[in-house]
């Protein structure tokens, strides 16, 4: 890169025929043709970095371990379809024709987990272990827990911090990079394909700042329904979005930017964005939907979730850290985990009080049973009452195994529930390109102006502070006199040393100039890209689009601000006042800066959870 920069300064016909640049000879740089060789080298480096970035992005998005790649389906090698596809046509489901009247969400549900129950998933003896470091001891996250999820039910995962609530949801949804331990049995209902989505606790990992609530849902619907989207279906898409906003009570924020919405509104908006597909997911895992909300806002969220289960027959699993008694009773089924990842209760909320009585744990009428359980569950099975409740869970284990044995639709699977990924298509690329351009060029234009102003602010004073005469010495000498340069220079040593000083200043100036441009891009890119990576991972894993569609849309949009920023920067710093050298600088530095941007992207992908580490 440095040699190519020297060629721009002292090559390109700066010396007449028969002359040779002494500076180029001192740095062993020969011939203008070498500039194009360096440009070719930069282009190859750029392509290698782009390919590396794409591979790392694919690995990050599709986190798969060797165990999961090698896992095979068991039970007599039966072939069945248990994973759904959001893009698959489904003639039996038409959300636009569904009755808008939802059943009463306060209606008491039937006893869960019976032979007649319409069970979606059953897990028996689920054990999940991790090893934080290669030399560390294995840590048990989930310890032989059993439970089940029914179609169209609202399920609560409750327990103290660190009890494994999120890990259980990730295991069921296929979000864990490691396979569950041997001995775990997971049965799925093969009569109806499972289409699952996962919503993380942090809404910033789902929502893009700069879009309004309605724009967010419209883009989500276009991406989720890209294979079936036409001009004729646009109105039905808008109607679906409007219906979802009404169901989740967020119609009043349709023209509000997502960053200005309240916490409860943002959580409901995230849930709505995952339900914009014509064929809605039938399994929705939500991590801490009420965290950071007051009791009223939390109650609104849970009411909305229960309404969705009744109207769209969606099974929802929500982890709740500290529910009050009102929220607790709104769930159809609850699963309580104690410290150490052990299960102490799975069943209807209204039966928990009787379970406490059976385990000799007194619970007065004025006491909320869930608060009593959570207080003791923080001690794990070392607490005598939790130990009794844990032993009671063995009855559920046997009950679930009998149900799966009698129900021919329940099939044992060896792999986690993971939705099929979308393949690349240009429609997804086009919608992502439009969405990214809207955010970056229209909504976040202030950031581009600031970046542009910073470049000018740095370049202008730096350029004015340097000696304008440093570009005058061309270091050209007749080829015949180059070998006798010392003898020639002795005739006028003062002029020789002045020229050498100016040449040295020019070389250092351009070296700093080149370093400044590339380093600025390396610093800026990770700061803005780390948050985008987490949003991409969640959207890609939930079946919005392919990794390739996002990658090429993002690369295309990020390319233009780099080039536009370089135009005034090079115009100010270019002291040669030559149009040829201006475009040579522009082409050379554009590729160099894009390479730096790729390095920043790679750092942002690897350290997507911490922008400071990325820097």
Q: What per-residue string of b and e applies to 487-500 under the rule 16 or more CB within 10 Å gives b? A: eeeeeeeeeeeebe
* Predicted pLDDT of residue 1: 58
Mean pLDDT in residue range 474-489 = 53
The DSSP code sequence of 391-437 is HHHHHHHHHHHHHHHH-TTEEEESS---PPPPPP-HHHHHHHHHHHH
Pair 375, 292 in one domain: yes
Mean pLDDT for all residues in the chain: 77
Domain membership flag for residue 97: no
The listed range with the strongest mean pLDDT (92-96, 157-161, 562-566, 606-610) is 157-161
Pair 6, 122 in one domain: no
- Per-residue model confidence as pLDDT tens digits over 298-350: 999 999 999 999 998 899 999 998 888 888 999 999 999 999 899 999 999 99
For the ranges 70-74, 109-113, 455-459, the lowest mean pLDDT is seen at 70-74
Whole-number Cα distances in Å, 511 to 1, 417, 585: 10, 54, 13
* Boundary residue ending a domain (356, 388, 413): 413
Pair 407, 439 in one domain: no
Pair 167, 315 in one domain: yes
Percent of the chain whose predicted confidence (pLDDT) is above 70 = 71
Which carries the bigger pLDDT value, residue 554 or residue 25? 554
Percent of the chain whose predicted confidence (pLDDT) is above 90 = 21
* Boundary residue ending a domain (373, 390, 413): 413
Which carries the bigger pLDDT value, residue 577 or residue 71? 577
Domain membership flag for residue 244: no
* Predicted pLDDT of residue 97: 34
Mean pLDDT in residue range 63-73 = 43
* pLDDT-derived band at 96, boundaries 50, 70, 90: very low
* pLDDT-derived band at 265, boundaries 50, 70, 90: very high
Which carries the bigger pLDDT value, residue 189 or residue 577? 189
161 pLDDT exceeds 90?
A: no
Pair 286, 337 in one domain: yes
* Predicted pLDDT of residue 490: 46
Pair 23, 146 in one domain: no
Domain membership flag for residue 77: no
Domain that holds residue 327: 115-195+281-413
Mean pLDDT in residue range 268-281 = 91
552 pLDDT exceeds 60?
A: yes
Mean pLDDT in residue range 440-459 = 78
* Predicted pLDDT of residue 483: 52
Pair 430, 561 in one domain: yes
Domain membership flag for residue 222: no
* Predicted pLDDT of residue 29: 61
* Boundary residue ending a domain (369, 389, 413): 413
Q: What is the pTM of this model?
A: 0.79
CATH number at residue 380: 3.40.50.300
Pair 44, 147 in one domain: no
For the ranges 31-40, 67-76, 257-266, the lowest mean pLDDT is seen at 67-76
> Rounded to whole angstroms, how far apart are CA atoms 275 and 160?
30
- Per-residue model confidence as pLDDT tens digits over 375-419: 888 888 888 888 999 988 888 888 899 888 888 888 888 765 655
* Predicted pLDDT of residue 395: 87
The helix (run of H) or strand (run of E) holding residue 119 is strand 119-130
- Per-residue model confidence as pLDDT tens digits over 190-214: 888 888 899 998 998 899 988 999 9
Domain membership flag for residue 98: no
Mean pLDDT in residue range 70-90 = 42
Domain membership flag for residue 171: yes
What the block records as the tokens of 418 is 């993971």
> Rounded to whole angstroms, how far apart are CA atoms 309 and 314?
5
Pair 462, 569 in one domain: yes
Pair 582, 473 in one domain: yes
- Per-residue model confidence as pLDDT tens digits over 339-384: 989 999 999 999 999 999 888 888 888 888 898 898 888 888 888 8
Pair 382, 306 in one domain: yes
* pLDDT-derived band at 257, boundaries 50, 70, 90: very high
- Composition of the chain by helix, strand, coil, percent to 5: 55, 10, 35
Pair 303, 370 in one domain: yes
For the ranges 26-30, 330-334, 437-441, the lowest mean pLDDT is seen at 26-30
* Predicted pLDDT of residue 274: 92
421 pLDDT exceeds 80?
A: no
> Rounded to whole angstroms, how far apart are CA atoms 408 and 422?
30
Would you say 98 and 311 are in contact if contact means Cβ atoms under 8 Å apart? yes
What the block records as the tokens of 121 is 């998933």
Domain membership flag for residue 54: yes
* Predicted pLDDT of residue 278: 84
106 pLDDT exceeds 50?
A: no
429 pLDDT exceeds 70?
A: yes
| Number of folded domains that form the chain | 2
In 3D space, the residue among 122, 132, 131 whose CA is nearest the CA of residue 184 turns out to be 122
Domain membership flag for residue 76: no
* Predicted pLDDT of residue 487: 45
């Amino acid at each position: 890169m440095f040699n190519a920069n020297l060629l721009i300064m002292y090559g390109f016909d700066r010396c007449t025929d028969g002359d040779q640049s002494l500076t180029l000879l001192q740095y062993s740089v020969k011939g203008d043709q070498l500039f194009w060789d360096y440009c070719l080298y930069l282009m190859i480096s750029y392509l290698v970095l782009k390919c590396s970035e794409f591979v790392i992005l694919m690995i990050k998005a599709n986190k798969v371990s060797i165990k999961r790649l090698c896992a095979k389906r068991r039970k007599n090698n039966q072939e069945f379809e248990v994973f759904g596809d959001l893009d698959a046509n489904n003639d039996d489901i038409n959300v636009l024709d569904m009755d808008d009247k939802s059943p009463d969400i306060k209606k008491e549900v039937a006893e869960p987990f019976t032979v007649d129950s319409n069970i979606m998933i059953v897990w028996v003896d689920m054990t999940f272990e991790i090893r934080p470091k290669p030399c560390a001891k294995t840590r048990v996250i989930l310890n032989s827990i059993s439970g089940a999820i029914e179609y169209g039910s609202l399920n609560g995962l409750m327990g103290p911090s660190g009890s494994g609530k999120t890990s259980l949801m990730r295991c069921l949804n296929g979000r864990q990079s490691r396979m569950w331990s041997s001995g775990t049995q997971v049965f799925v209902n093969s009569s109806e394909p499972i289409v699952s989505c996962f919503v993380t606790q942090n809404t910033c990992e789902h929502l893009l700042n700069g879009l309004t609530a309605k724009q967010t849902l419209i883009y989500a619907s276009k991406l989720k329904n890209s294979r079936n989207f036409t001009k004729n279906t646009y109105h039905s898409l808008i109607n679906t979005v409007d219906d979802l906003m009404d169901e989740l009570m967020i119609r009043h924020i349709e023209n509000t930017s997502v960053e200005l919405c309240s916490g409860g509104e943002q959580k409901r908006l995230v849930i709505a964005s995952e339900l914009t597909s014509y064929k809605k997911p039938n399994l929705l895992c939500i991590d801490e939907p009420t965290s950071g909300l007051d009791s009223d806002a939390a109650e609104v969220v849970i009411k909305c979730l229960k309404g969705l289960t009744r109207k769209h027959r969606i099974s929802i699993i929500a982890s709740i850290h500290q529910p009050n008694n009102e929220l607790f009773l709104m769930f159809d089924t609850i699963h309580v985990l104690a410290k150490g990842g052990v299960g102490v209760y799975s069943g209807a909320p209204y039966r928990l009080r009787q379970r406490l009585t059976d385990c000799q744990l007194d619970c007065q009428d004025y006491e909320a049973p869930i608060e009593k359980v959570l207080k003791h569950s923080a001690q794990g099975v070392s607490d005598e009452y939790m130990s009794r409740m844990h032993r009671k869970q063995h009855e559920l284990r046997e009950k679930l195994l009998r149900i799966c044995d009698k129900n021919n639709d329940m099939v044992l699977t060896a792999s986690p529930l993971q939705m099929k990924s979308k393949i690349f298509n240009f429609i997804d690329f086009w919608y992502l390109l439009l969405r990214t351009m809207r955010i970056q060029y229209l909504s976040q234009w202030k950031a581009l102006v600031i970046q542009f102003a910073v470049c000018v602010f740095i370049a202008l004073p730096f350029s004015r502070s340097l000696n304008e005469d440093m570009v005058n010495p061309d270091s050209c000498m007749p080829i015949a006199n180059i070998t006798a340069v010392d003898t020639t220079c002795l005739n006028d040593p003062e002029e020789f040393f002045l020229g050498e000083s100016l040449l040295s200043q020019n070389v250092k100036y351009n070296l700093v100039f080149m370093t400044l441009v590339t380093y600025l891009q390396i610093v800026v890119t990770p700061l803005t890209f780390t948050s985008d990576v987490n949003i991409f991972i969640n959207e890609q894993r939930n079946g919005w689009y392919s990794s390739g569609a996002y990658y090429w849309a993002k690369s295309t949009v990020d390319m233009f601000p780099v080039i536009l920023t370089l135009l005034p920067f090079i115009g100010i710093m270019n002291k040669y006042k030559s149009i040829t050298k201006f475009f040579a600088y522009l082409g050379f530095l554009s590729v160099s800066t894009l390479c730096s941007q790729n390095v920043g992207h790679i750092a942002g992908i690897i350290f997507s959870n911490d922008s400071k580490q990325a820097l």
